[in-house]
Structure 1
Amino acid sequence: MKALISIDYTNDFVATDGKLTTGSAGQEIEQALIDVTERFIKNQDFVVYAIDRHDQNDPYHPENSLFPPHNLAGTDGRKLYGKLAELYENSHERATVYWIDKRHYSAFSGTDLDIRLRERGITEIHLVGVCTDICVLHTAVDAYNLGYKIVIHKNAVASFDPIGHEWALNHFKQTLGVDIIE
């Protein structure tokens, strides 16, 4: 059994005026990300939207000293970007579609993702979204440590840092044994 984890494809991370945007790199993967997501939904595979959620002026969150405020609860910046928003609206009531608010880079950190995957017998996860070298990377490392087979859809991940993006793709393959597909 397999699942798709769609990571942080929101206005703040993808829109041109997003608070921490990948810009054109994130925008260019939209159709590939939509195609993968539609395929998983059509096949009734488990689709997880793992979306960064922050609170304004949270003095305890370590990202506050690293990045500008982004993906704040209740803002347009936290909404899914572009066509993915419509796809989610048309499918979110299905039992095979699940939304996770995440507080840390990894979709596994502080969430019930591992439990949700294991109760469905899922052993293989596919990752798409942003940022390749931050949230996708940390999710992949945690998935590796939990024993999941991992697949990265190369044309459906992006970063605001081209060097970090390429480094992460190499790290996935060379260090985690991830399957990287076009």
Structure 2
Amino acid sequence: MELSSQDALLIIDYTNDFVDDKGALTCGKSGQLIADRIIELADQTLADGGWVILPTDVHVPNDPYHPETKLFPSHNVRDTWGWEYYGPLATWYETHKDDAQVWMMDKTRYSSFAGTSLDLDLRARHINHLILTGVCTDICVLHTAVDAYNLNYPMTIPASAVAALTDEGQQWALGHFKGVLGAEVIQ
């Protein structure tokens, strides 16, 4: 029996530390405003028989061996409020976490592919198209997109479902997705 190719929606780093006003490294309002669109896309992806994957940043506080320690305040520490999913996604994930086509995965670098089994997991499930959502558009979403491009995954990035720390970073990354990575950027 041959499986058909499928889409996967990646909801990247949509946690309290990156989205909530009190988060350690927050996008703030721009990140909060995309919550409903992310949930809408997650529901649609499941309804269409696709996969919903939640690559989630996780860190050890003040890790002297991690390059981000020098760049950013401590964030997304496992089992803390900051590491938990933000707002509506927390509720959505609790409802769907036992669905076979939904899974959370740890990542410790910007890219969801770096040091993870994501590529192998996608290929095993015959997933050949990625829809990237979450935060930060110009950091973790961007680095995931670059790796996906280098692994030959076609991508769609809904502009209404990604957010950056700055408007300039958002616009630059959206242009990079389209002009350099050949991704389809939609509203």
Q: Per the shorter chain, which TM-score range?
A: over 0.9
**Aligned partners of 1:31, 1:99: CA distance in 2, in Å?**
19
2:60 to 52, 55, 59: 55
- Look up the SS of the partner of 2:11 in the other structure: strand
SS state at 1:123 partner: strand
2:4 counterpart of 1:3: no
Q: CA deviation at 1:165?
A: 0.8
SS in structure 1 opposite 2:127? Answer: coil
What displacement does 1:94 show? Answer: 1.1
1:79 to 51, 76, 84: 84
Is residue 125 from structure 1 mapped to residue 133 from structure 2 by the alignment?
no
In 1, distance between residues paired with 2:97 and 2:68?
29
What residue is the counterpart of 2:48 in the other structure? Answer: 43
Percent of aligned pairs with the same residue?
A: 49
* Residue 90 (structure 1) aligns with: 95
Once the two structures are superposed, residues 82-137 of structure 1 have per-residue CA deviations (whole angstroms, 9 ceiling, x without a partner) of: 01001001111111011110000000001111011001111100000000000000
- Segments of 5+ residues of structure 1 without an aligned counterpart are none
How many Å apart are 1:57 and its aligned residue?
Answer: 2.4
Q: Which TM-score applies when normalising by structure 1? A: 0.98
CA offset digits 1:38-93 (Å, max 9, x no partner): 11122231110000000122110000000000001110000000010010011111
Distance (whole Å) between structure 1 residues aligned to residue 28 and residue 61 of structure 2: 23
Paired residues in the alignment total: 182
Instruction: Kindly report the root-mean-square deviation, in angstroms, between the aligned alpha carbons of the 2 structures.
Output: 0.7
Which of residues 101, 108, 128 in structure 1 aligns to 2:113? 108
Paired with 2:126 and 2:39, the residues of 1 have a C-alpha distance of 25
**Counterparts of 2:116 and 2:14, CA distance in 1:** 18
Q: Which consecutive segments of 4 or more residues in structure 1 shift more than 6 A?
A: none
Query: SS at the partner of 1:129?
Result: strand
**Which TM-score applies when normalising by structure 2?**
0.96
- Which consecutive unaligned segments of at least 5 residues does structure 2 have? 1-5
Aligned to 1:138: 143
Of residues 23, 29, 35, the one that matches 1:18 is: 23
User: Hey, what does 2:3 align to over in structure 1?
Assistant: none
Is the counterpart of residue 152 in structure 1 residue 157 in structure 2? yes
SS at match of 1:180: strand
